[in-house]
């Protein structure tokens, strides 16, 4: 992190949190609660004794040859630095100012290449021993940031942004996506301290705060491209990736939470749908659906293969998000012009197929102009459920459906997500980008729709 970025982080922290932090010391002597297993002599994944030489005195009792995790260190002679605590008001976790929204950080949202990621032995905030690759990365899309608990500048707003990301992810957190915060100060940040720090930001299951032996954490940070000589110089970037697909991206840690979630959702979707036609054909079901005109189509063969599609879910009896989202999509259709129906198709799929017959969908579609290239789809419940299940969009209660747009290019294997209420010009520009067109839409849609 450059000097300019450090000053910016300090200024932003002052703006976000105000002056006058509340310092709350935490006792290291107490360690984790009895229910936690980090201090058990019989752990499933013991650390190598060779790593103990990097720890401070007190990490191992005389005569005890078994390795001990950092949470079991004897209390230091000096009072440890206090965990940096944000104010108790709700303002501490408000969305940070839109720093970086227009690319203030030149490295925001870029694809990166990582080497072999080690299966580092570490501990989470509860003191549970974990392996970084096998326990945290495998089978998940992850977003990783870097912090330390006594940081007084950029770490609190970085963590507050992750709290917002946690809220935006909702039920996907822990199921398909994991948030990981790695301490760059493992010597001080033992699990008991991480537990206090994480609780300040309302960390839920699926958000892991990690520490461990300093030498091993340093090796991990190096592999993730986040190693720095001094902890104060740690990166403000977030690393988003999926181990199975091999895709890794960096994005700015103080970008709006919705923007970060879009990056996460895109990586997650591409890890499932694959990067080429064969992967997509194997992933998407080829179930029969029916459009508003009563025409039957096969989901993959007729709608996805070799096409650019924009998909979302809705239902005609919806009185909350559907009307404004569909009005927004109608404005996107105007911006697309003659590309709609020729290069791009809009697919509005009902989550209430028993009620939403083709006749009802046809009547409903007329309220939004029903241009050529915009299909409203229904079908047998089993078929619709199979399709939406693969899109991560099926719900038993239609009122709880999501508001994502899923954008996919069947020829290139490029799959992304964006909120259905995003500005129409932003959605249209993203579609053009995925079509490999250079121009972008910067004008508002015509009035009257």
Which mean pLDDT values do the consecutive 10-residue runs of the chain (449 residues) have? 44 38 34 38 35 34 41 42 54 41 51 89 97 94 96 94 92 89 96 96 96 96 92 92 90 90 86 66 89 96 92 96 96 94 96 97 95 96 93 89 90 86 92 73 39
Q: Is residue 45 part of a domain?
A: no
Calpha distance 197→192 (Å, rounded): 9
On whether the CB atoms of residues 419 and 262 are closer than 8 A, the answer is: yes
On whether the CB atoms of residues 408 and 304 are closer than 8 A, the answer is: yes
Q: Is residue 449 part of a domain?
A: no
Calpha distance 14→16 (Å, rounded): 6
pLDDT for 105 equals: 46
Calpha distance 168→207 (Å, rounded): 13
Q: 338: which residues sit within 8 A by CB, 6+ positions away?
A: none
Residues 164 and 199 in one domain: yes
Task: For 234-281, give the DSSP string.
Answer: ---EEEEEETTTTEEEEEETTS-HHHHHHHHHHHHHHHHH-SSHHHHH
Calpha distance 162→415 (Å, rounded): 24
On whether the CB atoms of residues 71 and 127 are closer than 8 A, the answer is: yes
Q: Is residue 177 part of a domain?
A: yes
Do the strands 177-183 and 207-210 form a parallel or antiparallel pair, or are they unpaired? parallel
Q: Is residue 447 part of a domain?
A: no
Q: 59: which residues sit within 8 A by CB, 6+ positions away?
A: 52, 68, 70, 72, 73
b/e string for 50-65 if b means 16 or more Cβ within 10 A? ebbeebeeebbeeeee
With 0-12 CB in 10 A as exposed, 13-18 as middle and 19+ as buried, what is 381? Answer: exposed
Residues 153 and 281 in one domain: no
Residues 297 and 249 in one domain: no
Q: Is residue 318 part of a domain?
A: yes
Calpha distance 42→69 (Å, rounded): 12
Angstrom distances, CA of residue 5 to CA of 9, 13, 141, 233, 419: 6, 12, 28, 9, 29
The neighbouring-strand residues paired with 405 are 418
pLDDT for 288 equals: 97
Sign, CA dihedral 347-352-357-360, equals negative
Residues 164 and 194 in one domain: yes
Q: Is residue 60 part of a domain?
A: no
Residues 312 and 389 in one domain: yes
With 0-12 CB in 10 A as exposed, 13-18 as middle and 19+ as buried, what is 33? Answer: exposed
Here the CATH number for the domain that contains residue 185 is 3.40.30.10
Residues 289 and 266 in one domain: no
Range of the domain at 360: 274-434
List the structure tokens of 366: 């007329």
Among 270, 298, 333, identify where a domain stops: 270
Residues 264 and 388 in one domain: no
Task: For 114-165, give the DSSP string.
Answer: --PPP--EEE-TT--EEEIIIIIITTSEEEEEEE-TT--SSHHHHHHHHHHH
Calpha distance 29→195 (Å, rounded): 14
- Closest among 28, 211, 214 to 123, alpha carbons compared: 211
pLDDT for 83 equals: 65
Q: What global pTM score does this model have?
A: 0.58
Residues 256 and 286 in one domain: no
Among 270, 305, 323, identify where a domain stops: 270
Q: Is residue 201 part of a domain?
A: yes
Calpha distance 12→18 (Å, rounded): 9
Residues 252 and 304 in one domain: no
Overall number of domains in the chain: 2
Compute φ and ψ for 439, nearest 5 degrees: -75, 155
List the structure tokens of 80: 């440890």
List the structure tokens of 223: 């592999």
Q: Is residue 67 part of a domain?
A: no
Calpha distance 209→166 (Å, rounded): 13
Q: Compute the CA torsion angle 46, 51, 56, 60 (nearest 10 deg).
A: 40
Residues 315 and 203 in one domain: no
Residues 266 and 410 in one domain: no
On whether the CB atoms of residues 376 and 362 are closer than 8 A, the answer is: yes
Across 284-384, the runs of DSSP E, i.e. the strands, are: 288-291, 296-298, 308-314, 344-350, 374-378
Among 251, 270, 289, identify where a domain stops: 270
List the structure tokens of 93: 């976790």
Under DSSP, the state recorded for 438 is: S
Calpha distance 391→409 (Å, rounded): 15
Residues 259 and 281 in one domain: no
Calpha distance 289→381 (Å, rounded): 10
């Amino acid at each position: 992190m450059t000097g300019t970025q450090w000053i910016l982080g300090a200024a932003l922290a002052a703006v976000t949190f105000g002056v006058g932090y509340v310092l709350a010391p935490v006792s290291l002597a107490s360690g984790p609660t009895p229910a936690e297993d980090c201090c058990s002599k019989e752990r499933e994944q013991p650390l190598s004794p060779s790593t103990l030489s990097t720890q401070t005195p007190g990490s191992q009792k005389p005569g005890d040859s078994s390795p001990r995790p950092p949470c079991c260190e004897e209390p230091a002679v000096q009072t440890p630095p206090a965990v940096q605590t944000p104010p108790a008001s709700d303002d501490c976790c408000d969305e940070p100012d839109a720093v970086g929204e227009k690319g203030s950080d030149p490295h925001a949202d870029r694809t990166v290449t990582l080497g072999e990621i080690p299966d580092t032995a570490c501990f989470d905030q509860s003191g549970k021993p974990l392996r970084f690759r096998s326990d945290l990365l495998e089978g998940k899309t992850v977003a990783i940031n870097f912090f330390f608990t006594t940081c007084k500048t950029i770490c609190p707003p970085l963590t507050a942004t992750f709290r917002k990301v946690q809220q935006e992810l909702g039920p996907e957190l822990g199921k398909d996506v994991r948030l990981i915060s790695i301490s760059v100060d493992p010597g001080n940040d033992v699990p008991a301290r991480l537990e206090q720090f994480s609780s300040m930001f309302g960390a839920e299951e699926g958000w892991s705060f990690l520490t461990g032996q300093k030498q091993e954490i340093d090796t991990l940070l190096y592999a993730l491209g986040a190693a720095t000589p001094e902890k104060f110089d740690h990166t403000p970037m977030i690393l988003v990736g999926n181990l199975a697909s091999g895709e890794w991206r960096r994005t700015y840690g103080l970008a709006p939470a919705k923007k970060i979630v879009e990056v996460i959702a895109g990586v997650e979707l591409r890890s499932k749908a694959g990067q080429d036609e064969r992967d997509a054909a194997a992933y998407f079901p080829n179930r029969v659906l029916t459009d508003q005109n009563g025409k039957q189509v096969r989901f993959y063969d007729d709608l996805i293969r070799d096409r650019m599609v924009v998909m979302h879910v809705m239902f005609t009896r919806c009185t909350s998000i559907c009307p404004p989202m569909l009005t927004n999509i109608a404005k996107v259709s105007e911006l697309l012009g003659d590309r709609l129906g020729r290069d791009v198709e809009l697919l509005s799929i009902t989550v209430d197929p028993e009620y939403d017959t083709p006749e009802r969908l046809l009547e409903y579609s007329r309220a939004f102009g029903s241009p050529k290239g915009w299909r409203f789809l229904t079908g047998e419940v089993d078929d619709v459920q199979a399709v939406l299940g693969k899109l991560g969009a099926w719900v038993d209660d239609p009122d709880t459906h999501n508001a994502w747009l899923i954008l996919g290019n069947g020829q290139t294997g490029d799959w992304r997500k964006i909120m259905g209420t995003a500005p129409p010009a932003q959605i249209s520009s993203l579609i053009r980008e995925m079509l490999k067109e250079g121009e972008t839409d910067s004008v508002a849609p015509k009035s009257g729709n």
